[in-house]
């Protein structure tokens, strides 16, 4: 049990600010979770021990009260025996009274000692529960803070990425634009060539038809005149 008390005193006296600082440095609440597990484990052990000691306190108190009541009755009986002149019985009763009083005193002292220890354990339990409540609250605040920091970090990375896109070197942008324009120019040239070929074919077809029409007119005029 002394080892248990030492562990609990260590947990009670732990520097919570130090735990918070280490959690912030590690960007994790693991160090606080480990402390919480230790507190809960030792708190459970303390409660079991306190229940045992508390039971012993009640037993010792009951034993003390039993012997104290017996001694009180014997004390009254001795007075009665003396008044009745029964000295032998009074002497035996006195010897028994001495024994009862000694036992009552022993039980009283043990009861008081265990009671003190029991009260001390209850006090330790209260302090440990208070520390547990405090560290759990701080853990939740710290967890929220770490999550907020992570969110901001992601947002910062996103913003940096957007800034990187927005701040691309002008030469790079110009190069990309020139490549696009070059492809467009080539497509325009192909279209122009195709249009030119089509125009030539149309012109050729139209021009050929005009010559033939002119010849037909001549044939009609000449042959028709002869006819």
List pLDDT tens digits, range 63-83. Answer: 999 999 999 999 999 999 999
Looking at the fold, whether 129 and 193 belong to one and the same domain comes out as no
Looking at the fold, whether 206 and 114 belong to one and the same domain comes out as no
Calpha distance 204→128 (Å, rounded): 106
Q: What is the pLDDT of residue 104?
A: 96
Q: What is the pLDDT of residue 13?
A: 84
User: For the whole model, what pTM was predicted?
Assistant: 0.60
Regions of the chain short of the pLDDT cut 70: 1-2, 149, 152-215, 225-227
Domain boundary among 145, 167, 189: 167
Calpha distance 96→90 (Å, rounded): 10
Q: What is the pLDDT of residue 154?
A: 63
Judge whether 28 and 134 are in contact, CB under 8 Å: no
Reported as a single tens digit per residue, the pLDDT across 210-219 is 556 666 777 7
Domain boundary among 167, 199, 219: 167
Looking at the fold, whether 194 and 146 belong to one and the same domain comes out as no
In 22-116, where do the E strands start and end?
none
Number of domains making up the chain: 2
Looking at the fold, whether 38 and 110 belong to one and the same domain comes out as yes
Tokens of 213: 């029409």
Q: Which domain range does residue 192 map to?
A: 172-227
Looking at the fold, whether 125 and 184 belong to one and the same domain comes out as no
The residue behind tokens 């459970």 is 44
């Amino acid at each position: 049990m002394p080892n248990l008390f030492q562990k609990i005193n260590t947990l009670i006296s732990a520097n919570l600010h130090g735990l918070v600082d280490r959690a912030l440095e590690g960007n994790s609440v693991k160090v606080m979770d480990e402390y919480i597990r230790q507190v809960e484990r030792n708190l459970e052990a303390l409660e079991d021990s306190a229940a045992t000691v508390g039971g012993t306190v009640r037993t010792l108190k009951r034993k003390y009260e039993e012997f104290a009541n017996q001694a009180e009755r014997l004390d009254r009986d001795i007075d009665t025996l003396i008044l009745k002149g029964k000295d032998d019985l009074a002497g035996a009763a006195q010897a028994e009274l001495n024994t009862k009083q000694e036992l009552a005193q022993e039980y009283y002292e043990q009861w008081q000692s265990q009671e003190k220890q029991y009260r001390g354990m209850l006090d330790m339990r209260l302090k440990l529960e208070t520390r547990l409540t405090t560290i759990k609250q701080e853990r939740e605040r710290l967890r929220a803070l770490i999550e907020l920091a992570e969110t901001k970090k992601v947002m910062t990375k996103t913003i940096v990425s957007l800034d990187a896109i927005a701040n691309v070197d002008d030469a790079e942008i110009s190069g990309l634009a020139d490549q696009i324009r070059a492809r467009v120019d080539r497509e325009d040239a192909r279209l122009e060539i195709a249009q030119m070929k089509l125009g030539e074919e149309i012109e050729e077809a139209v021009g050929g038809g005009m010559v033939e029409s002119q010849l037909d007119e001549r044939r009609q005029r000449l042959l028709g005149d002869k006819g």
